[in-house]
Amino acid sequence: MQFIQNRKYSFIFSTILIILGLISIFVQGFKLGIDFEGGSLLRFKMDAAVSSAEVRSTIEEFKFIDQASIQKSGNEFLIRTRELNQEQTEQINKAFAAKFKNVEYLSAESVGATMGSELTRNAVLSVLIAMLLMLVYISFRFEWTFGVAAVVALFHNVLIVLGIFSIFQWELDGAFIAAILTIVGYSINDTIVIFDRIRENLRLKTRDDLTTLLNKSIMQTMNRSVNTVLTVLFPLVTLYLFGGSTIKIFVLTMLIGFVVGAYSSIFIASPLYYDIKQRA
């Protein structure tokens, strides 16, 4: 297979994906969960006969509620409001218990806006530091050209996943950060194995030119690349299909991320290494 010769197509494909994502990020931004934006999220189980409108009219009787979004799925109700304090949460609990049947409180979360910005800062900062240290390690064990290619491919993966979240307006919550971290971890592991083979073939000093050598290295590790991504996808697919409802989006993020990670290791990272190497 001519991965290197055809890199134009994968670069174009990725660029389109990233640009679409960036446009969406700039135009409509992200749907931020309370973990990032602050606010309260209450989850109740109630008689399925209760309508969202009834729930809305009940909570809007409280003066402290100015804006609330209510989602109903089956007999579960998800209520998102601005940050409520403890007394206010309790008042809502009581009002529901008095008015509706079979009310069961599932969860209540309140996050101050400062916590949200801290979480974002912490996550971004630690991922950047981690990337920097990985760059140093790869440069030390391989060569700086490999390090740059691997880290750029990582950025590419994260950007694509962020873009998809913006395009589909899926909600970003605390678990999203964990999913992104998992994607970073998987992608780097996946890429290093291919780079390792390239390094090995470079040491063999065959008469192959760099293009052939890279294509060969990718093909030699292809079985492994495919099998590895398949095996990690198994638990994710079963978790997505049968796991608890609260982790669906979380698992979906990882599913997308792992596929993107496997794609970029082959079609982005190695060709990028080629381009960087040619220019270095």
Partner 1 sequence: MQKNFSVAVILAIIVALGALTYFAYHPILKNLNLGLDLRGGLHVVLEAQEKEGQKISADTINKAVGILRNRVDKLGVSEPLIYPQGERRVVVELAGIDDPEEAVNIIKNTAQLEFWDESGKVLVTGKHLKEAQARASGEGQGFEVAIDFDREGAKLFADATTANVNKPLMIVIDGKVISAPTVSGPITDGSARITGNFTAKEAENLAVLLRSGALPVSFKILEKRTVGPTLGSDSLSKSVKAGIAGLIAILIFMLGYYRLPGFIADISIVLYSILVLGTMTLFGAVLTLPGIAAFVLSIGMAVDANIIIYERIKEELRWGKTLKAAIEAGFNRAFWTIFDANLTTLIAAFVLLYFGSGPIKGFAVTLSIGIIASMLVVLTFTRYLLVLSADLSKNHKLYGV
| Residue 164 is a binding residue for partner 1 (CB under 8 A) | no
List the beta bridge partners of residue 119.
none
Burial class (CB in 10 A: 0-12, 13-18, 19+), 168: exposed
CA distances from 131 to 126, 150, 164, 185 (A): 8, 9, 22, 10
Q: How many CB atoms sit inside 10 A of residue 49's CB?
A: 10
Interaction residues for partner 1, span 120-149 (CB under 8 A)? 122-123, 125-127, 129-131, 133-134, 137-138, 141-142
Are the C-beta atoms of 269 and 4 separated by less than 8 Å?
Answer: no
Counts of helices then strands in the chain (DSSP H, E): 11, 6
Distance CA 165, CA 160 (A): 9
Part of the chain binding partner 1 (CB under 8 A), chosen from 2-10, 67-75, 164-172, 233-241: 233-241
Q: Which residues contact 58 (CB under 8 A, 6 or more apart)?
A: 95, 96, 99, 100
Using CB under 8 A as the criterion, what x/- string covers residues 48-87 for binding partner 1?
Answer: -------------------------------------xx-
Beta carbon of residue 273, minimum distance to partner 1 (angstroms, whole number): 15
- Of the candidate residues 22, 32, 97, 115, the single one contacting partner 1 (CB under 8 A): 115
Q: Which one, 7 or 153, has the nearer CB to partner 1?
A: 153
Q: What is the nearest approach in angstroms of partner 1 to the Cβ of residue 10?
A: 22
# of chain residues touching partner 1 (CB under 8 A): 74
Residue 202 sits in the site that holds partner 1 (CB under 8 A): no
User: Among 2, 73, 98, 244, which residue interacts with partner 1 (rule: CB under 8 A)?
Assistant: 244
Out of 105, 171, 212, 219, name the contact with partner 1 by CB under 8 A.
Answer: 105
What is the β-pairing status of strands 31-32 and 76-81?
unpaired
What mask, x for binding partner 1 by CB under 8 A, covers residues 174 to 193? xx-xxx-xx-xxx-xx--xx
Instruction: Out of 5, 28, 102, 107, name the contact with partner 1 by CB under 8 A.
Output: 107
Q: Which of 24, 88, 217, 228 binds partner 1 (CB under 8 A)?
A: 228
Give the contacts of 189 (CB within 8 A, at least 6 positions apart): none
